[in-house]
Structure 1
């Protein structure tokens, strides 16, 4: 069957790509991506070419860029390139060079796609990449989900060459005389993927010469099994997990029938990134004291008395943010919360949680508004002694998530003046000797 016909058939049937779509082609200069670019151009599709120069191989990196630039120019295709300081980025992020290059290129591709109004980003991975990924995931213990290999379409990424094997790519590039450059780092076995391709898979082919064909069939079976599993899990998850403002909640009574099944529990919580070991801790704490806290790479979870609450991890910068409030301030915005201030001589007592009336002469400006921090102490109104703010929250039955979102008004000397919406500090209350009143209204 003609290669171009197979390519166009795969675009339509497996990727749902239409002639109206604009495609950003990620082209490194290697044989895979050069063949992909050639096929898109021959198919007459609207595309642009993007090349990443990671500056890792000196003049060789520049020669790769020049090859791709000349190819794009010869075919009248718009060309975009970007130079990255990959090594410094890796050091700053404390990640490997490979991970740094991955993060840099995908971030740039996403930005360029929006800038050039492209619909898809095409990556030139083929069937052998598919097999290598599944085997690598097997060694890392990713389970059935990882054994699916590379997905043909993922978000705005498409893999238009997954219908071809590495041998077919090599043969077609030679047949069509498509220029390309080899990256010599692809032949170094110090990288896990190269070791899998150059050493492990050849040994497996000695056991079964048809290993690659068998693996493609296996991956298809894994994908189908995973889809079947999700068709069972998804309705349960949708019924259990409900959005409630900033949180996702699931009632313990609803989850109780699943808590003893570790595998099922793992699948239910998979979208939130919790590991099996963390979920085992959840099982152990299920009938214990409420208030236990668990964390994944992207979410935090609170086991409360009657329910479980989940939310994305808060930005540490957000937690540290403060705003200043001066004596002549009228309106203050703190993280979307509005405070209105007023200075007068009205010493009448108003018993409303959203209003704080303080003795102006005891205040040291500028005041600050911030969130609670571990170790905060205040003197609750009506008490002569002091109390930890965390203990006050516990008495008020305020859970960990809520207390981290409650603003505190801080005096210039560091004293807590008001736990906003709950209690002012006894030392700053209005008394018979108060002459001026500083009033804050929390909206």
Structure 2
């Protein structure tokens, strides 16, 4: 099928945009982004181009800029160029060069989109990027949600090239005889994604040359399975949960007994309850009345014949961190957060290094609560935080003043200055690191 027709069909099938819209196209000078700009210009939609020069590769970076400028002139496409002092930005924000470049470009793209009146930002990720994302998530451990790959459209960002493989991109670029430049950093397997691209996928392609296309078919099945699962879980939730007030539900104990822990986890997932907490709840379902189990935002009461679920009113002693950069205060503690791609162990009890891609914001800092469990660093099983405090000889008064950092899904991340949860530690597959520094007194914090 003709490339222009395939391109048009993909845009229309996924309702990415219409010809009445205006797009800001991210153009690095590589084959992917140059092809995207070319096809959009041929499609007939109004576009403007944005090019970032991070001044990291000297003459190579300048050469990319010159090529983009010349090609946009040839197409008659308005071009916006921004040079960044990326190294200074990285040092000032205490993040890696790669993370600095990402933050700088996306912040600028969004600002520029609004400034020039564009409806969407178009980026040139293709089918191989889609597959790489799934393989990367698999290497870290993931459920069905992590197997969804890259979405064609998310917010103001669209990805119109996801229907092409990397090989197809190369063939089309050559057939259209469009100019491009290769970024030398793309050929280094220093980072996990590049290892997957350069080393792992070629091995699979030796087993089956159609591996990328087969994986795309699998991803569609994963997406379909997730959709079916979400529908069935929502139906089961409506069947089990009887609303008795605003943000309050009653659930029959007998009905709960008939469900497996796997299904219950998905049913209670929107309320932030982890599997270990639900397993503890099932263990005392008939033996104990009056027991309360907690997530970060909800509490579950085991009554005589029913379970009562309700949203907790947030106590005064809770603090939240909305993103991976900033500060939050809790009592006399200040937590400073920053992101980096540098994966190196730091042996400091006041510092937690967490795998960013496993985090769900906002993160919460609070005191210990009855029923809290975590997976201590280096262990495969879970432990009650109360038992951990007994082991560490922490008295009742002190344990209420120890900060507990909680993920958005209700799982504990860090007993600050004591112990990290093993599930969120950084590994050799970690791509992005959240660094949390706990300062003992906010009055001494600089």
Task: Indicate the TM-score class for this superposition, using the shorter chain for normalisation.
Answer: 0.5 to 0.7
Superposed displacement of residue 86, structure 1: 3.9
Alignment of 1:200-211 (within 5 A): 200-211=200-211
Correspondence for 1:309 among 311, 320, 323 = 311
Q: Deviations over 1:221-269 (max 9, x none)?
A: 1111111112223455678598x99xxx343537995596443344345
Cα RMSD between the aligned structures?
Answer: 3.8
Partner of 1:363: none
Partner of 2:249: 251
Larger radius of gyration: 1
SS of the counterpart of 1:253? strand
SS of the counterpart of 1:189? coil
Between the aligned partners of 2:53 and 2:291, the Cα distance in structure 1 is: 52
Partner of 2:198: 198
Alignment of 1:22-37 (within 5 A): 22-37=22-37
Asked if residue 136 in structure 1 is aligned to residue 133 in structure 2, the reply is: no
Q: Deviations over 1:267-297 (max 9, x none)?
A: 34556776655666776798687676544xx
Structure 1 residues 310 and 222: CA distance shift in structure 2, 3 A:
farther
Partner of 1:116: 116
2:242–2:251 CA contact under 8 A, matched in 1: no
Between the aligned partners of 2:122 and 2:76, the Cα distance in structure 1 is: 18
**274-283 or 43-52: bigger deviation:** 274-283
Between the aligned partners of 2:143 and 2:292, the Cα distance in structure 1 is: 31
TM-score (norm 1): 0.61
Q: Count the aligned residue pairs.
A: 318
Between the aligned partners of 2:182 and 2:99, the Cα distance in structure 1 is: 20
Q: Give the structure, 1 or 2, with the largest relative contact order (CA under 8 Å, sep 6 or more).
A: 2
Between the aligned partners of 2:261 and 2:87, the Cα distance in structure 1 is: 41
Alignment of 1:59-98 (within 5 A): 59-90=59-90, 95-98=95-98
TM-score (norm 2): 0.61
Superposed displacement of residue 49, structure 1: 1.1
Structure 2: segments with no counterpart, 5+ residues: 303-307, 322-326, 332-365, 368-396, 401-446
Between the aligned partners of 2:151 and 2:55, the Cα distance in structure 1 is: 29
Partner of 2:353: none
Partner of 1:428: none
Partner of 2:424: none
2:16–2:153 CA contact under 8 A, matched in 1: no
Structure 1 residues 124 and 253: CA distance shift in structure 2, 3 A:
same
SS of the counterpart of 1:182? coil
SS of the counterpart of 2:223? helix
1:149–1:219 CA contact under 8 A, matched in 2: yes
Partner of 1:263: 262
Superposed displacement of residue 93, structure 1: 5.5
Superposed displacement of residue 142, structure 1: 1.7
Partner of 1:161: 161
Structure 1 residues 195 and 253: CA distance shift in structure 2, 3 A:
same
